[in-house]
Structure 1
Amino acid sequence: MRLIDWQLAFERHLLADTDASGFASTLIGGPTLDVDTGLAIYHHAYRARLLEVMQGDFPAVWHWLGDEEFAGLVAVYVQRYPSAHFSLRWLGQRFAGFIGEHLVAEQSAPLAELACLEWAFTLAFDASPGQPLSLHDMAQLAPEDWPVLQVEWVPAVQQVLCRFNSLEIWRGVKAQATFPGSQPLSLAQVCLIWRDQQVCRFRSLEPAEAYALAGMADGGWSFSELCAELAVTYQEGAPLQAVTWLKQWVEDGLLQRRAP
């Protein structure tokens, strides 16, 4: 048997519930540890490590489901989507989608949203820093550069559209407070998650601000186009509102200059 074939057989054994492949027959036991016991220890340790990683990445989902149900869900998940990267950092990348596939819609929708929110914090924390604009940078802009100013997200920014009180649940679990229970929101909210230095930050956006920010960071609006869009609602106050929001976005570290 080639080494790669043996390694793949070992992987199949670790992921399987039973040794149907007969992998144990390819090994020789030692004087103090027989093959079956050694494989059982390795099998349990591997699964326990995967569960530990998922508990760390999705503590609110874990808290919601409880130990037994969460462990069962993770066991099915790693069978469906085995770790395919050398780093377990990426183990949970398909967990939110899997919840939607595996559970009935009434249960999966709020739970998948919560998993998506938690995964967004992981992505934000690990993203590259980019080149966030500062207030000093903005102060150095020449007057003629303001109308054509275009920006985009720094790499760390993640967006989650929340239709349930997922952020309240996440905050409650993090603060070890009483579990609030899942409730639909009267109005869906965009939640931004990003990293400032080495700390993840978050906030929800009101619809008007979410629309304006998405127009600039996703839609490629220039500053003059932002003012024109806001004029529909804010009329002569549009430039002031645009400057106020832009200052907040820059202070938060959300934006960088868009490449020409």
Structure 2
Amino acid sequence: MTLAAWQQDFRTWLTDASKEAAFRVGADAMRGLSVYQNNYRGQLIECLEDSFPRVRMLLGDEAFLHAAITHVNHHPPHAWTLDAYADGFGDTLNVLFPHNPDVHELAWIEHALTEAFVAHDAEPLPLDALGSVDWDAARLRFAPSFRHRIATTNADSIWTALSGNAERPESEMLPEPGGLIVWRRQFVSCLKRADAAEYEALLHLQENASFATLCGLLVGRLGEADGVAKAGALLAEWLGSELIVGVDGV
């Protein structure tokens, strides 16, 4: 047996508990292999517990452990770093809890905040540079840490309560879907629930970075005066919060 084949059998034993692979590695080593497998599985479960502490609080220890074991059974590590193992856990939760969108959205929040924290840095745009902008041609650039998804529940309020050891609100559907937005400002990962109008504006900018077309979108929705005013207010908020970190042409 070559070293590569031995390593492949050892990996197969860890991930699938294959008796055939264990026999090829060495039948006399079965007891020792069991120790390795227990450590392997325990470390992966601990990784998920560390990555999703508030999901664990929401579900309870027993339900979370069942979800973690299910994930470990079907999804071996896929990257060189264990930090990446949390990437697909939300998909497992979607399968196990198909009628609990609050669980899905809370898991997304936790993972997105972690991703935002390690995203590339970006210097905020000096506000005094905005006076020379040709806004008819300006194109806006998001912070590299920007993440988003649709919001249908009050998962952000649940996250806030669980993070501050406050009384958790009951899970509920929103009257109107909006968006969950995550980004990093300096050294702090930020979370915000955007209303439907702001989320639509953000999605539009992601597809077409033009500020002029954003104004056109909002004017079409709100009328000329209110649309232009809304575009200006959103731009000021995004620049101030460092969600927007660049305006091409400055």
TM-score by length of 2: 0.87
Residue number in structure 2 paired with 1:32: none
AA aligned opposite 1:228: G
AA aligned opposite 1:76: T
- Identical columns (%): 26
What's the RMSD between the two structures over aligned residues? 2.5
Whether 2:124 is the aligned partner of 1:135: answer no
Q: Which moved more, 1:236-245 or 1:186-195?
A: 236-245
Residue number in structure 2 paired with 1:5: 5
Q: Judge conservation of contact 2:41–2:72 (CA < 8 Å) in 1.
A: no
> How far apart, CA to CA, are the structure 2 residues paired with 1:258 and 1:77?
42
Partner of 1:182, secondary structure, is coil
Q: List alignment gaps of at least 5 residues for structure 2.
A: none
Residue number in structure 2 paired with 1:118: 110
Residue number in structure 1 paired with 2:22: 23
Q: List alignment gaps of at least 5 residues for structure 1.
A: 30-34
CA positional deviation for 1:219: 3.1
Residue number in structure 2 paired with 1:146: 135
Quickly say closer, same or farther: Cα 1:177–1:21, change in 2 above 3 A. Answer: farther
Residue number in structure 1 paired with 2:54: 60
Write the deviation string for residues 3-38 of structure 1: whole angstroms up to 9, x where unpaired: 12111211121223x452252663597xxxxx4443
Quickly say closer, same or farther: Cα 1:180–1:237, change in 2 above 3 A. Answer: closer
AA aligned opposite 1:79: N
Quickly say closer, same or farther: Cα 1:77–1:53, change in 2 above 3 A. Answer: same
AA aligned opposite 2:91: G
CA positional deviation for 1:229: 3.0
Q: Judge conservation of contact 2:45–2:72 (CA < 8 Å) in 1.
A: no
> How far apart, CA to CA, are the structure 1 residues paired with 2:34 and 2:88?
28
Count of equivalent residues: 248
> How far apart, CA to CA, are the structure 1 residues paired with 2:232 and 2:80?
45
Residue number in structure 2 paired with 1:224: 212
Quickly say closer, same or farther: Cα 1:221–1:26, change in 2 above 3 A. Answer: closer
CA positional deviation for 1:87: 0.6
Residue number in structure 1 paired with 2:35: 41
